[in-house]
Structures are given as structure tokens and as C-alpha cells.
Structure 1
Amino acid sequence: MESTREVRPVVWRNRSARTRELSRWERLESPAGGVQGPALPSESTVHFVLDLALRIGEVQMSSGAGASDATATIIAVANSYGMPHCEVDVIFTSITVACHRGVDLPPVTSLRVVRSRSLDYTRLALVEQLVRDITRGRISSRDAHTELDRITSAPHPYPRWLATAAYAGMAAAISVLIGGGVVVALFAAIITALVDRIGRLLNKRALPFFFQQMVGGALATGSAIAIVASGVLPATVRPTLMVAAALTVLLSGLSFVSTVQDAITGYNVTAAGRTVEVSLMTAGLIAGVVMALNIAVQLGLPSVPLADPLPPSLPRLPLQTLSGGAAAACFALASYATPRAVIVAGVAGAAGAIGYGVLGLLGVGVVASSAVAATVIGFSGGVLSRRLRIPPLVIAVAGMVPLLPGLTVYRALFELAVERSYAGLSTLMIATSIALALAAGVVLGEYLAQPVRYGLGRLERRLSGPRLSGPLRPTKRRLE
């Protein structure tokens, strides 16, 4: 019969980062004094906890969180339930976790495939609250599993028609932001609502997202061409802004922020996968717009002429601020964010819009202005969101949406498809630079917010860079 063993903490002499983490955990000592390994739970509990951690990571990845966020969350959940030696591998479409159990036992490995990717920020917020309860020792693994089942199986908090109305409101606000009036805002809202409803029908039939983006781009451009051909618009109205607003809404669903975040934090495989996805979705949008423009040229229909954005103006700055805040709030609402998150997203969008407008008045270029405005959004989101218990990802993505280069994208495609000018390539590169500047600025703002934010734990610094989702505090030990 095995003798009784005494549980004692081990005193480590080498105070490296990893040994400081391990020194918080108790070790089992044999009668001879040799260390045998960590006091891990039973094998069935290990499998159960790994499944729980993987499902939480899947929710984060499907909501657009970065690989570093999912990795930190999975490690925190596993540590909280008595498994300090876990390695996590995230490769965009799958998550693998291996729990090491010493040299005498084989590691327990579990894998989960991330299949669906949809925006439901209320679900993400509830999962983050569950992670906080887990890391603070407030809930057992069984109860956490039950709560996660309830969160993931619950319907969206708002009806689908409200999300469509929010997208329409977002298009109207963006059209005003870039210089449109009431008539342009009304038609932009109608076109966007039509695109959203048809896209939903195509999604129900499992049409690949590339073709959904293609149909959306063709519908947005074709609808504007039809409105121009009908002659119902006054001569002073600029129909280009309708297309630009609709394209901005279609661009808003792409994961620019998480792509740049993964690249910056060293998750290059995941960043490459996200880059391919974003590029393919953008290519579908470009194909749809170009197809509609070419059809209009072949049929002899009047195309939607180019229109320059209004120059920066101090009297328009309050209207731009309100429009940017309304567009960000509408996007958060369309993504099923909580009411508190919708309000904070609106504030972040207004801050980004006023920052962009002020820099424009000072003569700063569009790329630099976009980067600075996005940094302000990321910083404000990083400081406020944790205090208000809102995922920073919600504030970051929603706040930068009004600044997406929908008008620049349309200008590039018009120059390529209608004017047959190679100048469209350089314009398209400018649009790409703006999108990258926005995403990089948001990540930089979150990084700058780290010293300011209350309760920053060593976990975030150890995982190399800014975090837009998941826990920040060190975890507590909890054996099940």
C-alpha cells in the first residue's frame, strides 16, 4: 500500500519566467524526497477541462478574436482547473491543446475545428464573463460547461430585421460622413438593406462567402446605376457616395484587425490564413463591382460618376463626429453587441471621426490620419472596455468601421473598369494602405493602453503583445 505523501510547495532557485509560474503550484514528493510531478486531476477531468477550454477558444476565434487571445484564454482556463503544463497551437481553422503530465505519462491532446465564423458580440461578452468567473475560482468545471452550452445554444439577442435596419442606418451615417445629404443617405440605406436581405438568403443556401461578396458588390453598384438611369436624383446629388457607403458596410465584416494582430504577435500561420480569407472576400467584392460597371457600359447605361470627397471643413466637423459615432454604434448593434457596448462603440467611433477630421484640417495625409485615428480608438477601447466589462475587440472593430476606405475602393474600380486607366492600381494600393493603417493603429492603441489599464497581469506581457479579448489577471489554482 502506498504511503501518505505530503503536499509542499517547491522553492525554485532559478526565477525565470516559466519557473515563477510553476512555483505557484504545489508538487508531490515521494518518500525518498524526489519530485514526481504536478498534482494533476484525473484523466477524465483533464479531457473534460480541455474540451471546455477548446470550446471557449472556438467561440473567440469565430467572433474574430486573435490567436494570441484564444491561446491566453485556453491556458488560463486550464491553469484554473489544475493543469499548469499546457501547450496551445492555433492555426486559423483548428485549435490543438496538449496537457503534459510528466515523463511517466503520455500527454493528453485534444483538437477542435473552428467551422463557423459569425459576429455575435453578446455571446463573446458572455463567454468573457464566464472566463472571469473561471479564473477567479467562482465556478466549477461542470457548471462552466453547462453555462457554456447555454451561451452557445442561445439565439441572437435581437431579431434579424433589427440587424438589417442597423446596417441600413450604418450606410446612411457613412454616406453623411463622406459628404452626402439626406437623399443620398436614404438611398444608401435602402440599397444596403436590400443587399443584406439577399445576402442572408444566399447564406441560408450555403453559398460560399466569395460569391456572396460578389453578389453584394454587384447589387450595390447595379442599384445605384439603376437609380441614376431613372433620373429621380437631383443634379446636385452625388450617387457615388451611395455605392461607397454600401461597399463600406460589405468591407466591415472582414477581419482586418485580427489579421494584423496575429501578424504582429507572431502567429504567422494564422495571420496568413486570415490574409487569404480577407483577400478572397475583397476580391469577390471587386469582381461584383467591376461586373456591374462593365454591364452598364455594354448596355449604354449611365455609370455612377466619380465624386471627390468633400475637403476638410471646420463647420462640418460636428456633423462628421455624429455620423462616425452613429455608424460605429449601428455596426455594433448589427453585430449583436450589448446595449452598453453599442454606446461605448458609438463614443469610440465619434472619437475616431473627430481625430480624423482634425488631422485632415491640419493637412495630414489620409493614411497617416487613419493610423492616428485608429490608435485613438484602440487606446480608448483598451482603457474603457475592461472597466465596463466589454471586450476590447468590440470597440476596436466597431470604432474603425466608419473610416474604412469604401469611397477609395470604388474610385479604384471605376478607374480600372470604366476609364481603363492603370491609375486604378495605385488607388487600390492606397485603399489597402488605409485598411492596414486602421488595423495596425487599433492594435497599437491597445498596446499603449496596457500601462494605463487597471489590473494588468503578467499573463498579457508574457504572451507578447496587445490583447483584444480574454483574461488579463493571473489565474488561481482550482483542482476538481
Structure 2
Amino acid sequence: MRFKRQPPEQDPQTKEQGPALPDERTVHFVLDLALRIGEVQMSSGAGAADVTATIIAVANAYGLPHCEVDVIFTSITVACHRGTELSPVTSLRVVQSRSLDYTRLAAVETLVNRITSGKTPVEEAQTELSRITEAKHPYPRWLATFSYAALAAAVTIFIGGAALMALFAAVITAVIDRVGRVLNRRALPFFFQQVVGGALATGAALALLASGTFPDVKPTVLVAAAITVLLSGLTVVSTVQDAITGFNVTAAGRTMEVSLMTAGLIAGVVGALNIATALGMPEAPLADPLPPSALRLPIQTLAGAAASGFFALASYATPRAVFVAAIAGGVGTAGYGGLILAGAGPIVASAGAAVVVGFAGGVISRRLRMPPLVVAVSGMVPLLPGLTTYRALYELAIIRTTSGLSTLMIAAAVALALAAGVVLGEYLAHPVRTGLGRLERRFQGPRLAGPLRPNEHHTEP
């Protein structure tokens, strides 16, 4: 495929020729490639600033230096300006589906690196992108279900549950995931899927208690673990990143989605608690969180590492990314536990641990060539406020006290602190990442310009 360019502009006085202008066919072909890459990033939870920078970088690499990008929650629009004589070309793509496939995201980022370094012709890039987007998930679906179940078991150990409760949490989460899979095939809106998931988690935990077979089972811990798994897929980090970087429309759309999904989860849990009370089932006493202990810190660290690794595996990350995510989760939970032992509150401890996770993800991502989003999101999963959220809902639905509102606000503040901490850590990692790149170029001698990382250049639309 050969691209044609319009005759160059000519100054009538100096007779000097300016740069050639691309024709519409060229522009449409390149913009389609850039938009499809942006769609993959957006559907995987990347921030609007990262998507904008990636699209502009791809367009620049193929000779379209004057592009404006507008990213909102449901669509991406790109306008290519071609001087004063030719009309601009505008292209739009709607982001229709949202799913976590970190292997696909990593493959697209590798493709972007090759494009921006001038190693891939545009026709080859189109073919490669089609292969990436049409490929099946790298792991079978049952492995994702197993990973979510293992994630729930690890979270149960992290918040103080015993081995038997971890087993029950894994079974309940596996059932929730399979039921959600069936509902998703029937195109049931995600809000109602969250309602069903919250109700199943709470109902199963209360049924175990009412059976009397397992008197030592604490429903609080089981439901908290299931809530953490259901909250893990929400794009809280991207929401905060969009708000901080000035993409307010996109941030508002993501906020609405996160709020609606959380509301569905709350409705399911509260509904199950009220139904259990109406049926005369015994009330499940709230389990107080275990006090901070230096002896439990190694166990919590291992549990946090396992939770992060299994979440990355459930999100179809590459084996290397799963390993790095597990390390990030262990570092994050160790940092959180250390800050709690030092007397910090849960909000401050969550923010501090998230900064470490975001910083580590930002630095490691350059060295290992993987998306920082994989490390950042996976590393903060064990710290999601599942236990605090359930306590708030129990206080509101069963005890019927207004203290549940303050507890719910604490849970929201912890989630916000985690997301903001991760974003801050990534920004702090930027100068370190840039310095490492300069050192590499100094010791390796002259070479082609290094690939542009999507989150190193934030361009406002």
C-alpha cells in the first residue's frame, strides 16, 4: 500500500516549498490505526491522558504532526489538521466493551513502542493490531475463575481469617464468578450483576452460620473477601488519574460507573441482610479487625503478594507481569502493615503504601517493558476496603445506626487514598524513569530514539 501526498505548499515570494501534506486516504488509514490502539487502552482501564499521548505519538510517527485528540468515557475523537488550504479530517471511535486483558494491553504497548521507534510500517502495524485484538484470551476461562477464588482466599488470610474460612471464601467467589459469567452472556447490565454478586456472597455466608455445622465461621470475613474481589475490577485508579490530569468529563463518566457498580454491590449485600433478618436467621456478629501485630506482618505480606498475583492472573496478565504484580502486592501490604504498626491511620497507611506501589510500578515498567497499569492496579487490590465496606453496610442495615455512614465514608476515603497514592507514585517515578533512560543511552552510545511511553507525555486535548 503506497501513500500519496498532496503537492507541497509554495510561497509566491520566496518560491520555497514547505512540507508535503498527506491526502485524506493516508490520514484515514493512520487515524483508524491510532483510534483502535486507543480503544484497546481505554477498554483496559488506561487513563485518558495515556490514551491521548499514545494516539498523538502514533500519528506523529506516521507523518501526522498536527492532531487534536478528545477522549471521553465512551468515545475517542481525533482531528488531523492539514494546513489552511485543505479541510481537517476528523475520525471517531466508540469504546463499546470494557474487559481486563493485560496480555492484550502489553502486546499493544509493545506495538506502540515499535511504531514510535520507526520499526513498523503502517500496513504491518494494522495487521499486527488486528491479530492482537482478535486473539483469544491467553488462558482458559476456568483459570480466571480459579484465580478469583484464590484471590478471595488470600484476602481472607490477609484480614485475619483461618484456613477453613479461606476455603469457604474461595468456593463462594468461584460460584459468584460463574453465575456472573452466565448473566454476562445474557447481556444483563453490570449493575444487576453486582447486586447478584453481593447478595450471593452475603446469603452464602449467613447460610453457613445458620446451618450450625461450622460455628467458627465468621460471615464478616467471608463477605469482606467477596466484596474485595467484586471491587477489584473497578477503574478507581483511572478515575482519579483522569480527574487529576484535567480530563474532567472522562473522570465524571468513570466516577458514575464506579459509583453505580458500588451501589449495586451495596444493594445486594443490604438486601441479603434484610432478607435474612426477615426470615428469622440468627444475626451474624461483626468480627472486629485483628489488632496490628508484627508477628502477623510476614503472613499478611505473603497473603497480599498472593492476592495481587492471582488478580493479575485473573486479568490475563503475562507470567512475568504476574510475578511482578505479586512482588508489588507484597511490598504494598508490608508498607501498609508497617505504617499501621507505626501508629498511622488506615487512610494514611493506604496512601503511603499506594505511593510505593505506584512508584515501583512506574520504574519497573520501563525496565521490563510492561504496562504500569498492571503493577499499579494489581498491587493495590489486597488493600481495598472490603472489610470496612461490609461493616458500614451491617451497621446501616442491621444495627440501624448512623455510625454506618461515617464508616462508609472511611471506606470511600481509603479507596480514594489508594488511587491517588498510585497516581502520585507514578508521577514521582517519571524523573527516575527519564534518568535511567539517559544513562542507558550514555553507556550504549548513539542509537535510534527510544520508544515513547504513553504515560510519559500527557497532552491535554
Query: TM-score, normalised to structure 1's length?
Result: 0.89
Q: Post-superposition shift, 1:455?
A: 6.3
Q: Distance in 2 between matches of 1:379 and 1:84?
A: 31
Q: Post-superposition shift, 1:45?
A: 1.0
Q: Post-superposition shift, 1:35?
A: 6.8
Identify which of 208, 213, 218 aligns with 2:194: 213
Matches within 5 A, 1:271-282: 271-282=251-262
Q: Which residue number in structure 1 is paired with residue 104 of structure 2?
A: 123
Q: Distance in 2 between matches of 1:149 and 1:213?
A: 32
3-state DSSP of counterpart to 2:454 = coil
Matches within 5 A, 1:425-464: 425-454=405-434
Q: Post-superposition shift, 1:306?
A: 0.8
Q: Post-superposition shift, 1:91?
A: 1.0
3-state DSSP of counterpart to 1:397 = helix
Q: Which residue number in structure 1 is paired with residue 359 of structure 2?
A: 379
Q: Distance in 2 between matches of 1:343 and 1:281?
A: 29
Give, as a single letter, the amino acid of the residue that structure 1 aligns with 2:454: G
Contact map agreement 1:457 1:472 (CA 8 A) in 2: no
Q: Post-superposition shift, 1:239?
A: 2.6
Pair 1:317-2:297 in alignment: yes
3-state DSSP of counterpart to 1:98 = strand
Structure with the larger helix share: 2
Identify which of 370, 376, 396 aligns with 1:390: 370
Q: Which residue number in structure 2 is paired with residue 98 of structure 1?
A: 79
Q: Which residue number in structure 2 is paired with residue 424 of structure 1?
A: 404
Q: Which residue number in structure 2 is paired with residue 411 of structure 1?
A: 391
3-state DSSP of counterpart to 1:112 = strand
Q: Distance in 2 between matches of 1:279 and 1:382?
A: 27
Identify which of 322, 329, 336 aligns with 1:342: 322
Contact map agreement 1:37 1:102 (CA 8 A) in 2: no
Matches within 5 A, 1:63-462: 63-235=44-216, 237-454=217-434
Q: Distance in 2 between matches of 1:340 and 1:410?
A: 34
Q: Distance in 2 between matches of 1:419 and 1:209?
A: 29
Contact map agreement 1:456 1:473 (CA 8 A) in 2: no
Q: Post-superposition shift, 1:42?
A: 2.5
Q: Distance in 1 between matches of 2:16 and 2:141?
A: 58
Give, as a single letter, the amino acid of the residue that structure 1 aligns with 2:45: G
Q: Post-superposition shift, 1:161?
A: 0.2
Q: Distance in 2 between matches of 1:469 and 1:203?
A: 34
Contact map agreement 1:64 1:258 (CA 8 A) in 2: yes
Q: Distance in 2 between matches of 1:207 and 1:56?
A: 28
What is the identity percentage for the equivalent residue pairs of Structure 1 and Structure 2? 72
3-state DSSP of counterpart to 2:21 = coil
Q: Distance in 2 between matches of 1:80 and 1:40?
A: 15
Query: TM-score, normalised to structure 2's length?
Result: 0.92
Q: Post-superposition shift, 1:303?
A: 3.2
Cα distance, 1:473–1:95 mapped onto 2, change above 3 Å = closer
Contact map agreement 1:392 1:469 (CA 8 A) in 2: no
Q: Distance in 1 between matches of 2:365 and 2:455?
A: 13
Aligned residues: 439
Cα distance, 1:37–1:98 mapped onto 2, change above 3 Å = farther
Q: Distance in 2 between matches of 1:341 and 1:187?
A: 28
Unaligned stretches of 5+ residues in structure 1? 1-6, 8-26, 459-467, 475-480
> What is the CA deviation profile of residues 339-378 of structure 1, one whole-angstrom value per residue up to 9, with x for unaligned ones?
0000000000000000000011111000000000000000
Cα distance, 1:283–1:471 mapped onto 2, change above 3 Å = closer
Q: Distance in 2 between matches of 1:169 and 1:136?
A: 40
Q: Post-superposition shift, 1:34?
A: 6.2
Q: Distance in 1 between matches of 2:199 and 2:295?
A: 35
> What is the CA deviation profile of residues 192-232 of structure 1, one whole-angstrom value per residue up to 9, with x for unaligned ones?
00000000000000000000000000000000011111112
Q: Distance in 1 between matches of 2:420 and 2:126?
A: 35
Q: Which residue number in structure 1 is paired with residue 3 of structure 2?
A: none
Q: Which residue number in structure 1 is paired with residue 454 of structure 2?
A: 470
Give, as a single letter, the amino acid of the residue that structure 1 aligns with 2:63: G
Matches within 5 A, 1:32-51: 32-33=13-14, 38-51=19-32
Contact map agreement 1:70 1:470 (CA 8 A) in 2: yes
Q: Distance in 1 between matches of 2:165 and 2:196?
A: 22
Cα distance, 1:133–1:454 mapped onto 2, change above 3 Å = same
Contact map agreement 1:132 1:471 (CA 8 A) in 2: no
